[in-house]
Amino acid sequence: MAFHDSAIIGYAESKIVEKGDRDVCALGGEILGSLIKSTGVEKGAIDGLILSSAMSGAGSVFWSQVVADALGLGLNFCQTVDIGGCSPLGALARATMAIDAGLCENVLCLYADTQASADHRPSRPFRTEWTSALGYLGPPAAFGLLTRRYEHQYGLDYAALGKLAVAQRGHAVLNENACEKLRKAITVDDYINSRMIADPIRLLDCVMVCDGASGLLVTSRKNAERKGFTKAVIPLGYGERTNHRINEAVVDVTDTGHRVAGEAAFKRAGIKPSDIGSFHPYDDFIIAMMLQMEMLGFCKPGQGSAYIRDNDFTHTGSLPLNTGGGQISAGQAGLAGGGTNLIEGVRQLMGDGGKRQVANKKHALVTGIGGIPYGRNWTTSAVMILSSNA
């Protein structure tokens, strides 16, 4: 067997809410119930559980066992993936490995977090003593510095970034699961004139922390065929890179681990960027999507603004982008947020996109970003290429 011998046979997603009143395990139960109903796979047949990490579960060192117990699952394989926003993709990759190794047969990949209502992260002394004290207050400040460096190095068209924001917001308007507060159309002028958060990062560059959940049911392709699943999505290629260029004293922060991870994913999948029918990049900030376009070979480094100006990123365009709205326009469900884009990629390949369905249902590209260190780009980069079995 190999990586592509696994199949996604079901997906599920909750409504993303600004701040909910439901426990994270209750959301997990909703996803499990939806998957059982949509696939017909009985609960007792699910023998693997792989979770994304969760801000709401950060205080528990037994998180995967706690969730398994709450859901009443008896398992042969159980794990929490803790690579930040890359965790949903990492969970899917690890599910394929567990199935390939014969450790389990049907794996629930569960992405649930209620960070907006229950953030249990412990405080890190390094931040409070060394960075926050100097005004380096979290991700907006980090991406502000990164954006300024890119602008100095290559030049930057902020209207081009606004074009990405407008495309994603248009998709969120068509997505009933997107956070209602964000389901309002915007213009490039709205983006340019939005409130400055950490110069040059604007309000409409940033994600809004929300509550929500999603999940996948994964099995072997042989098992999927034996059980008669005619519609499935195949994980075709995966790449993951942590601490890109960490041993260099002064790094180029515009060069991210997605370059290495992307090369690995495309090589394993046996395809090229021009084969991608929809692109679902991790979008904690708008600039991150443009950087990934460069790193993944859609354009050369420094040419991101020109590439954006020359292409259409709506669901009917040349490169449909985050057709569910992405995290920026659908809402970021804490560390489960990367699952929002992953589920949308699966939905598109299964032909369930409805009013936002893309024409090319053959291949989708999904990425993850996990962790924002000081003085470098991001900690972990993940790239997943999915294929329809049609």
Backbone phi and psi for residue 48, each to the nearest 5 degrees, phi listed first: -140, 140
**Residue ranges of domains in the chain:** 3-120+210-231, 131-207+234-388
pLDDT at residue 302, rounded to an integer? 98
Q: What would the mean pLDDT of 163-172 be, rounded to a whole number? A: 98
The answer to whether 230 touches 386, Cβ cutoff 8 Å, is no
pTM of the model: 0.96
d(CA 313, CA 322): 9
pLDDT at residue 390, rounded to an integer? 65
CATH class of segment(s) 131-207+234-388? alpha beta
Q: Are strands 278-280 and 363-370 parallel, antiparallel or unpaired?
A: parallel
pLDDT at residue 1, rounded to an integer? 43
Q: How confident is the model at residue 376 (pLDDT cuts 50, 70, 90)?
A: confident
DSSP 311: S
Q: Which stretch of DSSP H or E encloses residue 382?
A: strand 380-388
- Locate 257 and state its tokens: 């681990």
Which own/partner contact pairs does 39-46 have at CB distance under 8 Å and 24+ positions apart?
A: 39/9, 39/10, 39/217, 39/229, 41/9, 41/10, 41/106, 41/217, 41/219, 41/227, 43/72, 43/73, 44/74, 45/105, 45/106, 46/73, 46/75, 46/106, 46/107, 46/108, 46/217
Mean pLDDT score of the chain: 95
- 378, HSE (Cβ side, Cα atoms, 13 Å): 31
Share of the chain above pLDDT 90, in %: 89
pLDDT in tens, 201-214: 999 999 999 999 99
Kindly tell me if the per-residue pLDDT of 145 is higher than 80. Answer: yes
Architecture of the CATH domain 3-120+210-231: 3-Layer(aba) Sandwich (3.40)
From 45-54, 136-145, 361-370, the region with the lowest mean pLDDT: 136-145
Same topology for domains 3-120+210-231 and 131-207+234-388, yes or no? yes
